Amino acid sequence: MRTEPDSNRNNIKGIIGVGLFFFLTILIPFLKIGGGFLWGDIGVDDFSLSIDLFWDRMTGIINNVPFNTDYRGYDNPIFASIGVEEGILFIWLIIPLWNSIWLTLGILGTVLLLIPPLMNIRKKEPIKFPLGLIGLIIGLVATGVQYCLFLLLWVLEDWGEFSPHINLFILGCFIFGWILLVNGYRYPRKTIEKTGHIPTEDAVSKKDITLEAENIYKYFGGVKALEGASVMVKRNKLVSLIGPNGCGKTTLFNVITSWLDKTNPYTEKEDIENKRQEVGSVRFEGERIDGLSAHEAALTGMMRTFQTTRNWADLTVLENLLVAPQSQTGESLWKNFIFWKKIREDERKNTLKALEVLEFLEITHIRDQVAQELSGGQLKLLAIARLLMSDPRLILLDEPMAGINPTLGNKIMDKIVNLTEEATVFLIEHNMDVVFNYSDEIFVMARGKIIAQGTPTEIESNKEVIEAYLGADY
């Protein structure tokens, strides 16, 4: 039932990134040496010759070790001042030496980068720390130094065809690689750790908590939407979140489902210690889901609806439901051309499931209609149906009763209560009848904080809640 985030894919991406890095660091030096397009005038032999000369020079540094002055004779006043021959040798040695350093660094970096993905690919665990970034930094530094050196050489003598443009190109390659690794093809920045350590007093009670959002702060510049909000949702229960408009309910939902990142509330410069630490956490079934992107959070089994129903207008109702299931084989471009049978099988199963879901929500008769033609109530039901296609374990509903007449509302709520057998439902609502009749537990929010929580009877008599609702000045 549950679909796990495909962290193996990240490992593969890591290996591809490494391959790119390897290509750039190992092969680029061969492109760079000398003038000309590919190999240029200097080949592998010059490498070894230069290294030999270099070692000779190092050992015979005091002695006058004779060397080949004809080797690319240059005419340059600057060289004349430091001794032409030495000048040439110095420069020509530095290049291959630097290149060999580069080569060494490149090989080292590649090895470093390759180990974690290869180790993890069997365990299907995500990478623990951004080695890719480290490797790239090594490459960038090496390139930077190379570039400066060549710039110097270019100033000192006229190399004609060969120019620092090539170095710019290499720099560009590295920047591109950096964009690649950082912009979504990366190892996940925050890892999903399993909470090995369970605090002692809460050991028993925390077992039935499915969603735990602890101490969440969210600031939009000057607007403080959430100020240390914490919710704990128990498994297989219907939990409501209520509060006056603008108190941060939808923002809390957005942070929980990773549509927004939580912020660190310590904005003052003096709070340097606190600024560095992470404040607040979101845990789903014991695992932290803070750093995931929105779609990855959805893949962990957490589905949500939106305050204004969003649907795919041009698609029929059946198609709307068929897009919803996760990790379909048919969603990979090339697999469509190879795994025909499997895709057909998946489509068949999904269509059956779609029909079941439609039956459950009693909207089978709109199966062939285009979503554009549906009424508001039907659209709401469609949004819930879409959500059910992926068998979620946690369902977050943002104002499901908005704009629905009471009869249909009760019908929908009966269905939603049915869902709690297999999943947990966490909903935001303003309709107090619905909230007090159907919820197992209620959280009350005001001004970005949770001010009360408990069963409906407890909340009804809570003074603070009454104050918040009657005294709210929004």
Partner 1 sequence: MGTATFILVFFIGAISLDLEVGSMGLPNFGKVAFFAIGAYISTLLYSEYNVDIFVSILIALAVSGLLGFVVAIPTVKLRADYFAIMTIAGGEVIRLIFQNEQRWLWSTSVIGTKSQVISNKFRIEFAGEFPFNQRLNDFLATTLDDIGSLIEELSELVLIPIIKDIPLISDILHFIKNIISLIGSSIRDIGGTSILDDIGTFIEGLSELVLIPIIKDIPLISDILLMIKTIVSLIGSSVRDMGLVFMWQIVILLVFIVIALFVYWFVQKVRNSPYGRTLRAIREDDISVSSVGKDVARFRWQVTTLAALICGLAGIMYAMTFSSFEAGEFRPFLTFNLYIFIIIGGLGNSKGAFVGTSIVTLFLHASQTQVVKEVINMRLGPNGITLPEISLIGIDFSKITEEFLSPIVGPLFEILRIDAFITPENSAIVILGVILLLFLLFKPAGLIPEKKTDTGKYLSLLTVKQRERSDVAVQTRQSLSEKERLMKETEGEPPPI
Q: Report in angstroms how near the CB of residue 370 gets to partner 1 at its nearest.
A: 6
Residue 68's nearest CA partner among 80, 52, 81, 79 is 52
Smaller CB distance to partner 1: residue 151 or 323?
323
Give 334 or 474: the residue with its C-beta nearer to partner 1: 334
134-157 as b/e: b if 16+ CB within 10 A = ebbebbbebbeebbebbeeeeeeb
Q: For residue 36, list its beta bridge partners.
A: none
Task: Determine the interface stretch with partner 1 among 192-200, 330-338, 426-434, 456-464 (rule: CB under 8 A).
Answer: 330-338
Whether residue 151 contacts residue 164, with contact meaning beta carbons closer than 8 Å, is answered with yes
Q: Do the strands 287-288 and 281-284 form a parallel or antiparallel pair, or are they unpaired?
A: antiparallel
Q: At what angle do helices 84-123 and 131-156 cross, to 10 degrees?
A: 160
Place of tokens 């040798």: 89
Of 25-33, 102-110, 228-236, 345-353, the segment contacting partner 1 by CB under 8 A is 345-353
Q: How far apart are CA 229 and CA 443, in angstroms?
A: 11
Which amino acid belongs to residue 306? F
| Residue 98-137 contact track with partner 1, rule CB under 8 A, x = bound | ----------------------------------------
Q: Name every residue whose Cβ is closer than 8 Å to that of residue 192 and which is 6 or more positions away in sequence.
A: 5, 126, 287, 288, 289, 292
Q: How many residues bind partner 1 (CB under 8 A)?
A: 64
Q: Per CB under 8 A, does 31 bind partner 1? A: no
Nearer to partner 1, 110 or 311 (CB): 311
Q: Which is nearer to partner 1, 306 or 469 (CB)?
A: 306
User: Which region, judged by CB under 8 A, interacts with partner 1, from 81-89, 117-125, 200-208, 313-321?
Assistant: 313-321
Pairing of strands 281-284, 238-242: unpaired
Could you tell me the smallest distance in angstroms from the CB atom of residue 349 to partner 1?
9
Is 323 near partner 1 (CB under 8 A)?
Answer: yes
Choosing from 347, 430, 449, 451, the residue that interacts with partner 1 (CB under 8 A) is 347
Pick from 185, 212, 190: nearest CA to 291:
190
Taking CA atoms, 341 is separated from 192, 327, 337, in Å, by 35, 16, 10
Neighbouring-strand partners of residue 284: 211, 287
Among 218, 380, 386, 447, binds partner 1 (CB under 8 A): 386
One-letter amino acid for residue 420 of the chain:
T
**Could you tell me the smallest distance in angstroms from the CB atom of residue 238 to partner 1?**
21
Which one of 87-95, 216-224, 228-236, 318-326 is the stretch in contact with partner 1 (CB under 8 A)? Answer: 318-326
Q: How far is CA 426 from CA 235, 241, 294, in A?
A: 10, 7, 18
Does residue number 319 form part of the binding site for partner 1 (CB under 8 A)? yes
363 binds partner 1 (CB under 8 A): yes
In the numeric block, which tokens belong to residue 60? 């015979």
- Closest CB to partner 1 among residues 224, 411: 411
* Token representation of residue 15: 């290996």
User: Which of 343, 408, 451, 472 contacts partner 1 by CB under 8 A?
Assistant: 343
Residue among 74, 90, 98, 360 that touches partner 1 (CB under 8 A):
360
CA-CA-CA-CA torsion sign (351, 352, 357, 359): positive
Give strand pairing partners of 441: 239
Which residues 33-62 are close enough to bind partner 1 by CB under 8 A?
37
Q: Are the CB atoms for 113 and 132 separated by under 8 Å?
A: yes
- Does 213 interact with partner 1 (rule: CB under 8 A)? no
Q: Interface with partner 1 by CB under 8 A: which range of 124-132, 143-151, 173-181, 282-290?
A: 173-181
| Residues forming the site for partner 1 (CB under 8 A) | 3, 37, 161, 176, 179-180, 183-184, 257, 259, 293-296, 298-299, 303-304, 306, 310-316, 318-320, 322-324, 326-333, 336-337, 343-344, 346-348, 351-352, 355, 358-360, 362-365, 367-368, 370, 386-387, 389-390
